[in-house]
C-alpha cells in the first residue's frame, strides 16, 4: 500500500457525518463538481476557458483527496460543503491568475450593468428621477444607502437583495427564511422609510406618487 | 495549494470558520433554529463576503437549470458469459467518447479525448474480475477509484493496468482534470 492509499484508508476510517466512505462520496459527486464550477462561472459572469475550469476541477479533486472529504463533519449538506470548496477555489484562482479580480468585484460589475437596462433604484423606491433637479445621482445613492444601513439589519438585508440585487420577492423570502407576505410588507415599509427620509433631506423634491 | 486551506471554509470570507459554516448551514436549511438563523442573516446584512457566498449558494442550487455541461463521461459495460458488451448511453455516443467492441467481444475499448490526444481504455474480463488498461502516448497520472480502493498509476511507454476489479462502479481520473465513470456489470 503506497502512502496515498494508506492516507486514503486512514481518512476512510475517520470519516464522520456520512454512512458512505470517501471513495463512494467521490464516485457519487464527481459530476456535480464540474456542474457547480460551470454554474458559478455562469451565474457570476466569470469567463474561464475550459483549461482554466479543468485547473479548478483539479484543485478541487486534490483538495478533496488530501483531506477535504475527511474534514466534512456534517454541519451542512455535503453538496453545500462541496460548493464552499469550489467557491473558494474559484476565488483563489481568480486572485492568482486574473490579477486579483474577485468574484464579488465581477459580480458587482455585472449587477451595475444589469441595473442600467432594468428598473433603476430611484424607480424602485418611487423617487421620480425627473424631479431630482441638481441632485447628483452619486449623492442620492450615498444617502439612500446611508438610510438603508440605519434600518434594522434584516431590513437592510432585504434592501440589498430586493432593491440592489434585483431578486424577486419569492427569492428574497427564500433567502431570508420568511414568508413572501412578510417580505412584501417589509419592502413597502423600507420603500416608505427611504422615500420619506430622502424627501426630508432634499426639500425641493415633490412627491409625485 | 496551501495545505492549511484544505477542508476549511474560513478562506471563503474574512469571518471565522465557525461563522462561515453557519452561513452555509442556514443557506441549505440544515440550521433551522430561529435565533441562529436571525443572527446569521443579521451578519450577512453587513458582511459583503458572507453575503456573496450566501447569494451564490442560492443562485447555484435554486436554479433547476444548473449547467449540465460537465467533463465526466459515464459508460456501462455488461459481462455475459465472459463476453463484454458496451451499453452506450446517448452521452457516450456524442463526440466526447466512442465505444468500440473488439471482434470477440472480450475487450471493450473506449477512446476518450484528453488534452489534444486520445486516451485508449481497454476493459477486459478474466478469472471473475475486470482489468482496465489505460494507453496514452503522453505521461498521464491515472487515478482509479472504486468503492473499496484508490490506486494511482502513470501511463507512458507501458499502459497503466488496473487489475482484479469487481462488479462495481469505477472512476478514472486523468491527471485529476477529466473523469470517466464506468459501471462494470457481471451477469
Interface test with B, best of A48, A155, A177, A183 (most B CBs within 10 A): A177
Mean pLDDT for A90-95 is 87
pLDDT surpassing 70 at residue A103: no
Whether B42 and B96 share a structural domain: no
Please indicate whether residue B98 or residue B125 has the higher confidence score (pLDDT). Answer: B125
Residues in A touching B44 (Cβ below 8 Å): 157
Q: How confident is the model at residue A111 (pLDDT cuts 50, 70, 90)?
A: very low
User: Which residues, in sequence order, are CB contacts of B47 under 8 Å at separation 6+?
Assistant: B13, B14, B15
Whether B57 and B115 share a structural domain: no
Q: How far is A25 from chain B (nearest CA, A)?
A: 9
Confidence at residue A200, expressed as pLDDT on a 0 to 100 scale: 84
Whether B47 and B82 share a structural domain: no
Contact B178, B143 (CB under 8 A): no
Whether B158 and B82 share a structural domain: yes
B129 three-state secondary structure:
strand
Q: What is the dihedral of CA B119, B124, B130, B134, to 10 degrees?
A: -20
Q: Per the CB < 8 Å rule, is A30 touching B179?
A: yes
Q: Which of B32, B61, B90 is the last residue of a domain?
A: B61
Confidence at residue B35, expressed as pLDDT on a 0 to 100 scale: 96
Q: Is residue B102 part of a domain?
A: yes
Q: Per the CB < 8 Å rule, is A30 touching B171?
A: yes
CA distance linking residue A76 with residue B121, whole number of Å? 37
pLDDT surpassing 80 at residue B60: yes
Confidence at residue A192, expressed as pLDDT on a 0 to 100 scale: 94
Q: Is residue B67 part of a domain?
A: no
Whether B76 and B57 share a structural domain: no
Q: What's the first-to-final CA gap in chain A, in angstroms?
A: 76
CB neighbours of residue A73 within 10 Å: 12
Beta-bridged to residue B119, according to DSSP, are B112
Domain limits of chain A? 3-104, 120-201
Q: What is the dihedral of CA B116, B117, B118, B119, to 10 degrees?
A: -110
Confidence at residue A208, expressed as pLDDT on a 0 to 100 scale: 40
Most confident range, picked from A12-16, A178-182, A197-201, B89-93: A178-182
A190 three-state secondary structure:
helix
Q: Which chain B residue's Cα is nearest to A91?
A: B12
Q: Which of B23, B40, B61 is the last residue of a domain?
A: B61
Whether B56 and B94 share a structural domain: no
Question: B25, B182, B181, B177: which is closest to B116 by C-alpha?
Answer: B177
Q: Is residue B148 part of a domain?
A: yes
Whether B113 and B135 share a structural domain: yes
Q: Is residue B66 part of a domain?
A: no
Q: Is B86 left (phi over 0), alpha (psi -120 to 50) or beta?
A: beta
**Average pLDDT of every residue of chain A:** 78
Q: Is B43 left (phi over 0), alpha (psi -120 to 50) or beta?
A: alpha
Confidence at residue B117, expressed as pLDDT on a 0 to 100 scale: 86
Could you tell me which CATH number the domain at A120-201 has? 1.20.140.160
Please indicate whether residue A64 or residue B90 has the higher confidence score (pLDDT). Answer: A64
Model confidence pLDDT, tens digit, residues B101-140: 444 447 888 888 888 888 989 888 888 889 999 999 899 9
Which domain does B172 fall in, by range?
72-186
pTM over 0.90: no
Whether B84 and B146 share a structural domain: yes
Contact A171, B62 (CB under 8 A): yes
CA B101 to each of CA B84, B119, B123, B143, B161: distance values in angstroms, whole numbers, following the listed order: 8, 16, 10, 24, 19
Q: How far is A92 from chain B (nearest CA, A)?
A: 9
Please name the member of A23, A70, A160 whose beta carbon is closest to the beta carbon of B146.
A23
Whether B133 and B55 share a structural domain: no
B114 three-state secondary structure:
strand
Confidence at residue B45, expressed as pLDDT on a 0 to 100 scale: 96
Confidence at residue A171, expressed as pLDDT on a 0 to 100 scale: 95
Please name the member of B52, B171, B179 whose beta carbon is closest to the beta carbon of A103.
B52
Most confident range, picked from A195-204, B6-15, B38-47: B38-47
Radius of gyration of chain B from its Cα atoms, rounded to whole angstroms: 22
User: To which residue does cell 502513470 refer?
Assistant: B154
Model confidence pLDDT, tens digit, residues B63-72: 655 555 555 6
> How many helices (H) and strands (E) would you count in chain B?
3, 11
Please indicate whether residue B28 or residue A95 has the higher confidence score (pLDDT). Answer: B28
Structural domain count of chain B: 2
pLDDT surpassing 80 at residue A102: no
Whether B76 and B50 share a structural domain: no
Whether B53 and B92 share a structural domain: no
Whether B39 and B110 share a structural domain: no
Q: Which CATH class is domain A3-104?
A: mainly alpha
pLDDT surpassing 70 at residue B93: no
Q: Which phi and psi (to 5°) does residue B130 adopt?
A: -100, 145
Amino acid at each position: 500500500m503506497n502512502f496515498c492509499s494508506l492516507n486514503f484508508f486512514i481518512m476512510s476510517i475517520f470519516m464522520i457525518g456520512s454512512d458512505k466512505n470517501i471513495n463512494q462520496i467521490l464516485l457519487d459527486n464527481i459530476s456535480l463538481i464540474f456542474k457547480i464550477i460551470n454554474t458559478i462561472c455562469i451565474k457570476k459572469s466569470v469567463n474561464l476557458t475550459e483549461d482554466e475550469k479543468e485547473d479548478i476541477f483539479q484543485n478541487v479533486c486534490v483538495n478533496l483527496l488530501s483531506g477535504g472529504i475527511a474534514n466534512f463533519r456534517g454541519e451542512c449538506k455535503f453538496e453545500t460543503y462541496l460548493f464552499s470548496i469550489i467557491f473558494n477555489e474559484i476565488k483563489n484562482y481568480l486572485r492568482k491568475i486574473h490579477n486579483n479580480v474577485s468574484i464579488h468585484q465581477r459580480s458587482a460589475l455585472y449587477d451595475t450593468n444589469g441595473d442600467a437596462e432594468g428598473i433603476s433604484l430611484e424607480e424602485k423606491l418611487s423617487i421620480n428621477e425627473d424631479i431630482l433637479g441638481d441632485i447628483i445621482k452619486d449623492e442620492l445613492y450615498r444617502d439612500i444607502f446611508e438610510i438603508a444601513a440605519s434600518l434594522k439589519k434584516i431590513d437592510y438585508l432585504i434592501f440589498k437583495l430586493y432593491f440592489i440585487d434585483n431578486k424577486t420577492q419569492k427569492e428574497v423570502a427564500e433567502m431570508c427564511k420568511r414568508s413572501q407576505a412578510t417580505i412584501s410588507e417589509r419592502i413597502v415599509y423600507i420603500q416608505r422609510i427611504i422615500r420619506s427620509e430622502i424627501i426630508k433631506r432634499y426639500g425641493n423634491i415633490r412627491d409625485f406618487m | 495549494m496551501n495545505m492549511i486551506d484544505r477542508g476549511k471554509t474560513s478562506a471563503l470570507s474574512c469571518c471565522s470558520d465557525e461563522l462561515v459554516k453557519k452561513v452555509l448551514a442556514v443557506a441549505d436549511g440544515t440550521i433551522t433554529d430561529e435565533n441562529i438563523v436571525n443572527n446569521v442573516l443579521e451578519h450577512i446584512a453587513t458582511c459583503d463576503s458572507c453575503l456573496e457566498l450566501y447569494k451564490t449558494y442560492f443562485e447555484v442550487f435554486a436554479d433547476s437549470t444548473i449547467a449540465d455541461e460537465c467533463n465526466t463521461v459515464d459508460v456501462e459495460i455488461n459481462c455475459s458469459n465472459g463476453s463484454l458488451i458496451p451499453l452506450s448511453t446517448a452521452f457516450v455516443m456524442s463526440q466526447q467518447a466512442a465505444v468500440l467492441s473488439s471482434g470477440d467481444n472480450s475487450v471493450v475499448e473506449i477512446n476518450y479525448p484528453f488534452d489534444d490526444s486520445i486516451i485508449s481504455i481497454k476493459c477486459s474480463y478474466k478469472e471473475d474480475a475486470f482489468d482496465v488498461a489505460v494507453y496514452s502516448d503522453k505521461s498521464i497520472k491515472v487515478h482509479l477509484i472504486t468503492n473499496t480502493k484508490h490506486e494511482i498509476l502513470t501511463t507512458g511507454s507501458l499502459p497503466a493496468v488496473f487489475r482484479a476489479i469487481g462488479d462495481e462502479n469505477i472512476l478514472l481520473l486523468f491527471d485529476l482534470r477529466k473523469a470517466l465513470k464506468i459501471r462494470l456489470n457481471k451477469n
